[in-house]
Copies of this chain bind each other. A is one copy, B any other.
Amino acid sequence: MIRVTVWNEYCHEQEEERIRKVYPNGIHNAIKDFLGANDDIQVTTATLYDENKQLRENAGITDELLANTDVMFWWGHVRHGEVPDEIAIKVKEAVLSGMGIVFLHSAHHSKPFKMLMGTTCNLGWRESDDKERLWILDHNHPIMAGIEGRYFELEGEETYTEPFGVPDPDKLLLIGWYNGGEVFRSGCIWRRENGKVFYFQPGHESYPTFYNPTVQKILTNAARWVAPVCPRMPLECPWVARLEEK
């Protein structure tokens, strides 16, 4: 059983009527719905803002939650700064010790992602209802399992563009094409010590991206792929310390 925690800012959906129409129960619950429909995945949610629009203490993330999470999904956009540094560090350290993580869309600017990448994670963007066509570079990667065809399309998405200020990914899975003239490395994998990281570009709050069956298949595959295959390793494990004398 893979224990997934879906974390969401949960602001747009509560603050803007047009977004609430798309995700009436919040983006986190839309993701929970399709991930949780799998027998091998058990989903919890956590949000920065609660259902009364109040900022949760510690961004809704406790040590216990992290200790019991195999895979975290992270959706954030306009309130990255309200996640306390010490919580972002705890998320980062959970990843380094083995927790898998999937960063969605504008989470490219979240604190944990930037800390794990070591770069600005900047990019260019435009909201103009571009069509995005996502080209698949490796059909035999587990995250692409079951996705047929050379590409799949999203009728509308926010446009992101290169240069994407991240370390070159260990593996590039998807390149996004936008009819406005842009391209983006829309599916990227990095290892960070014992933790696997997947970044997935689509998922702007105003589009029904998380209801798209191909997106759901990719994110379900990703949950399984980033899930750790070894026990969580303490950051101060005895290997990474003075060796015994010869």
Q: Which residue of B lies closest to A144 (CB)?
A: B230
Surface stretch bound by B, among A29-37, A55-63, A170-178: A170-178
A66 to chain B, nearest CB (A): 16
Q: Is A122 an interface residue (CB 8 A)?
A: yes
Which chain A residues numbered 172 to 223 have a C-beta less than 8 Å away from chain B?
172, 175-177, 179-183, 185, 190-196
Partner of A240, one of B145, B163, B182: B163
Shortest Cβ distance from residue A194 to the other chain B in the assembled complex, whole angstroms = 5
Interface size on A, residues (CB 8 A): 71
Secondary structure at chain A's binding surface: helix, strand, loop or mixed?
Answer: loop
Instruction: List residues of chain B with CB within 8 A of the CB of A116.
Output: 118
In the complex, A229 has a CB within 8 A of chain B: yes
C-alpha spacing A234/B141, complex, angstroms: 17
A142 B229 Cβ-Cβ under 8 A: yes
B96 A119 Cβ-Cβ under 8 A: yes
Asked if B242 contacts A126 (CB within 8 A), the reply is yes
Query: Once the chains bind, are A96 and B120 in contact (CB under 8 Å)?
Result: yes
Closest B residue to A117 using CB positions: B118
Interface positions, chain A 117-173, Cβ under 8 Å from B, are 117-120, 122-126, 128, 133, 135-142, 144-146, 150-151, 159, 161-168, 170-172
Q: How many copies does the complex hold?
A: 4
- Contact pick for A177, options B125, B126, B151, B181, CB 8 Å: B181
Quick check: B163 and A172 within 8 Å, CB to CB? no
**Can you list 14 contacts pairing A with B, beta carbon distance less than 8 Å?**
A96-B120, A120-B235, A120-B240, A124-B239, A124-B243, A126-B242, A135-B182, A139-B230, A140-B191, A140-B229, A150-B162, A151-B162, A177-B182, A182-B243
Interface residues in chain A, defined as those with a beta carbon under 8 Å from any beta carbon in chain B: 92, 96, 98, 115-120, 122-126, 128, 133, 135-142, 144-146, 150-151, 159, 161-168, 170-172, 175-177, 179-183, 185, 190-196, 228-230, 233, 235-236, 239-246
